[in-house]
Amino acid sequence: MLELDDPRWSALTHAHGSAADIPDLLRQLARTTDPNDNYKSEPWFTLWSSLCHQDDVFDASYAAVPHIVEIACKATGPLDFRFFQLPAAIEIARNKGNGPQIPGHLAATYSDAIFRLTDCVALHRREDWNEPVLLSAFSALAVAKGHQRIAEAIMNLDDDLIEKLIASDFGEQS
């Protein structure tokens, strides 16, 4: 894992340029693991807009994922749903070709972090989960097991689509 004080963060990029700001955001994240329903809450808002911007990912995204997963695995108590959702979204985007290749020095820790999502979900299984946590955990599990299509479908579920699925209401078939 690329240490947070490693000068190579400055050479990595995200949606807004140099990733030199990401280590501080990750340090802040480690102090704020509790659920937060405000989508503009920090550091999540900046992490999302920098690391998975309009479904594009960057080399800094791959360096950040192991830290996000590690923070989630070490956290006690309920987690913010984005601990599962952001790594899953980054992996989905990567598999769709919406980012660069994973740099060699980040490949092993990134792949391990994606796989460790299963452990992370299991560590938090006894907590009460609201719907966003549940869907994000399912999406993270699907990504970790190599099912990106299913992960993306789960991530895109909303109340309207869930109701249509329950009612088998898919409109007219051609």
pLDDT in tens, 78-133: 999 999 999 999 999 999 999 999 999 999 999 999 999 999 999 999 999 999 99
Residue positions counted in the chain: 174
> What is the percent of the chain with per-residue pLDDT over 90, rounded to a whole number?
84
Report residue 17's pLDDT band, with 50, 70 and 90 as the boundaries: very high
Whole-model pTM over 0.85:
yes
pLDDT value at residue 161? 87
pLDDT value at residue 162? 87
pLDDT value at residue 173? 54
pLDDT value at residue 172? 60
| 8: CB partners within 8 A, 6+ apart | 2, 105
Return the DSSP state at 122: H
H-run or E-run covering 56: strand 56-57
Spacing of C-alpha 45 from chain mean position: 12
pLDDT value at residue 67? 98
Helices (H), ranges, the chain:
22-31, 44-51, 59-74, 82-95, 104-123, 131-144, 148-155, 159-167
Residue 93: both structure tokens together: 């985007």
* Distance, CA of 155 to CA of 92 (rounded, Å): 10
How does the average pLDDT of the chain come out, rounded?
94
